Structure 1
């Protein structure tokens, strides 16, 4: 995109870079998994995704995906009054208003579920439950970047982490711990993923 560090600094300083729809002017702004990086003037869009043996890498995405961001629920806390605070993998928090705290029959979501956000409106478009047969991405460990159907998982106990098995399109199976599983769709991924990693 740029030919040297000086040019990169200039683009950042003049507000030519956006992360999740917000202009960023810090050269060392930290990026994390699923962050959307946009260069408005260049009409270039990237999502930070895990690649096998490479770690987190900016992956080109079509313009229509630039407003989509999946967020994994890491914390779910009931507030005073019965409302629920959700904490996500990227540090984002969202307060869910419960209509009747005395009769909590609304199952909003669970820890490990993923909510797909519309970054332009801040609204949730879709929920992907952490469950068997959903499409999932491995975001850590030796099988980093692999993705496919979550065919089984065990809950784990005590100091033993739960183990999940993911089957790729070509039938290969990969195991990883539950914390590295990122549900990304029901029958197929909700966002573009590198084909070679499935």
Structure 2
């Protein structure tokens, strides 16, 4: 199988220039589906830490690149939404977050905010033994003893150290959210209304932002908290509580 991907056909979320060359690196299979961006693209095209795949491999083999708390040596490993990248020697930490327009971008974060990763609950089901299994947007699964407080479209932050839930953000009117797909990808605001469609059609969500409102399908919305944005932006996204 080819290790190359035509630049003109890469997903819109990939942060690469499409007309500078014919090919770029192809991501291996893994989390995030086709939207996953190869680590080498993040190191070379986004951060500018390396100039070539060879340099990226050298940096990764030194164990200096951590993704979600684990050293990564495969430079084709897919990187995607809400992943946490850490460069211990540089004392730098980043969260993968969509910019306005939907391209994946890196948001600098403090070390204390880099101890867990946010995931959107996309499915919830009972499993043998009475526990509840929560399936997240990136393919991760987590079992909890009592799943009554968790619902589909809620978000949770899972610790890298012990797999415990560090935070839980409820999907409801007034929740702070970001759109991760569609024409409003990267926009942040608060849920104004949730319209449940009594059919197979997707539910729709109206989000209030600093610049007005927009409507999108429920699948494209992820609940976040104020740590993902500046305090001022978070406060301006809706009414004060």
TM-score with structure 1 setting the length: 0.85
Q: How do 1:36-75 residues align onto structure 2 when only pairs under 5 Å count? A: 36-75=84-123
Partners of 1:113 and 1:129 within 8 A in 2: yes
Q: Where does structure 1 lack aligned partners over 5 or more consecutive residues?
A: 99-105
For 1:87, the equivalent position in structure 2 comes to 135
Structure 1 residue 3: Cα displacement:
4.1
Report the 3-state secondary structure (helix = DSSP H, G, I; strand = E; otherwise coil) of the residue aligned with 1:190. Answer: helix
Structure 1 residue ranges (4+ consecutive) displaced by more than 4 angstroms after TM superposition: none
Distance 2:116 2:131 in 1: 26
Following the alignment from structure 1 to structure 2, what is the Cα–Cα distance between the partners of residues 171 and 11?
Answer: 42
Unaligned runs of 5+ in 2: 1-47
1:9 Cα shift? 2.1
Count of aligned residue pairs for this structure pair? 185
| Superposition pairs of residues 166-185 of structure 1, within 5 angstroms | 166-168=207-209, 170-185=210-225
1:150 equivalent to 2:191? Answer yes
Q: Give the aligned CA root-mean-square deviation in angstroms.
A: 2.0
Q: Distance in 1 between matches of 2:149 and 2:70?
A: 27
Deviation at 1:118, TM superposition (A): 2.6
Contact kept? 2:64, 2:87, Cα under 8 Å: yes
Task: Pick from 196, 202, 213 the counterpart of residue 161 of structure 1.
Answer: 202
Q: How does 1:13-28 map to 2 (within 5 A)?
A: 13-28=61-76
Q: Give CA deviations for 1:36-58 in whole Å, capped at 9, x if unaligned.
A: 01111111111111112251122
Q: So what's the TM-score if we normalise by structure 2?
A: 0.71
